C-alpha cells in the first residue's frame, strides 16, 4: 500500500519525477502508483501541477501585489461568498482567509502598477461587504514554494579603504 503523505511530499517537491522512479521510491508498482494518483486527483487532493518561473529574468515588467482586504462577513455565508467572488478574476492567483488585522489576502499579478491599482479601486474596493484594502507590491522574490531565486549578479567593485 502506498503512503499518501509520502507520495504527496515527493510530487509536491518534483512533479516531473518519472513514474518508474517514484514507484521505486515508494516500493510500489507503476500500476499501483498510477491508480493512487488517479484516486487522489478524483478526490481533489491533487489539484494540479505547476511550474515555478523566475519572471524577473525574462519579464521584469510583471508586477505582483499582495492585497489585504477587510470585509464584513455575510449572514449565513461568512467570508466565503466574497472570497469566491474576488477569486474569480483571472489575475488573482491566490486568495486566503487570514487571521489578524485583515480578513482576505489576494495575490494579484499584472502588467504594471496602474492595472493593479485599477483592479483594487474598480473591483475589490467596490465589492459589497468590503470595508477597506491595503496593497503591497513585491519588489523582489528571494524564495517561493521552497525554491530559492538565485541572484546571479555579482558586485565586481573594489573596496576602497581610507
What is the predicted pLDDT for the residue at 1? 84
Domain contains 52: no
Residues 31 and 85 in one domain: no
Residues 88 and 26 in one domain: no
Each residue's pLDDT tens digit, 126-141: 999 999 999 999 998 8
In order, the DSSP letters of 96-133 are: EE-SSS-SEEEEEEESSHHHHHHHIIIIITTSTTEEEE
Each residue's pLDDT tens digit, 14-72: 899 999 999 999 999 999 999 999 999 999 999 998 888 887 778 778 899 999 999 99
Q: Which residue range is the domain that position 17 belongs to?
A: 4-42
- CATH for 91: 3.30.70.920
pTM score, two decimals?
Answer: 0.78
How many domains would you assign to the chain? Answer: 2
How far, in Å, CA of 73 to CA of 48, rounded? 30
Domain contains 156: no
Q: Which helix (H) or strand (E) holds 24?
A: helix 19-26
Domain contains 105: yes
Residues 69 and 36 in one domain: no
Amino acid at each position: 500500500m502506498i503512503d499518501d503523505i509520502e507520495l504527496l511530499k515527493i510530487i509536491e517537491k518534483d512533479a516531473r519525477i518519472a513514474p518508474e522512479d517514484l514507484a521505486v521510491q515508494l516500493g510500489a508498482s507503476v500500476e499501483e502508483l498510477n491508480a493512487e494518483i488517479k484516486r487522489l486527483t478524483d478526490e481533489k487532493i491533487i489539484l494540479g501541477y505547476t511550474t515555478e518561473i523566475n519572471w524577473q529574468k525574462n519579464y521584469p515588467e510583471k508586477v505582483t501585489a499582495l492585497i489585504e482586504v477587510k470585509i464584513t462577513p455575510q449572514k449565513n455565508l461568512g467570508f466565503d461568498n466574497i472570497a469566491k467572488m474576488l477569486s474569480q478574476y483571472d489575475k488573482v492567483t491566490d486568495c486566503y482567509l487570514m487571521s489578524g488585522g485583515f480578513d482576505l489576502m489576494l495575490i494579484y499579478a499584472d502588467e504594471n502598477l496602474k492595472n493593479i491599482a485599477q483592479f483594487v479601486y474598480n473591483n475589490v474596493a467596490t465589492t459589497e461587504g468590503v470595508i477597506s484594502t491595503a496593497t503591497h507590491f513585491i519588489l523582489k522574490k528571494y524564495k517561493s514554494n521552497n525554491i530559492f531565486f538565485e541572484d546571479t549578479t555579482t558586485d565586481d567593485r573594489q573596496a576602497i579603504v581610507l
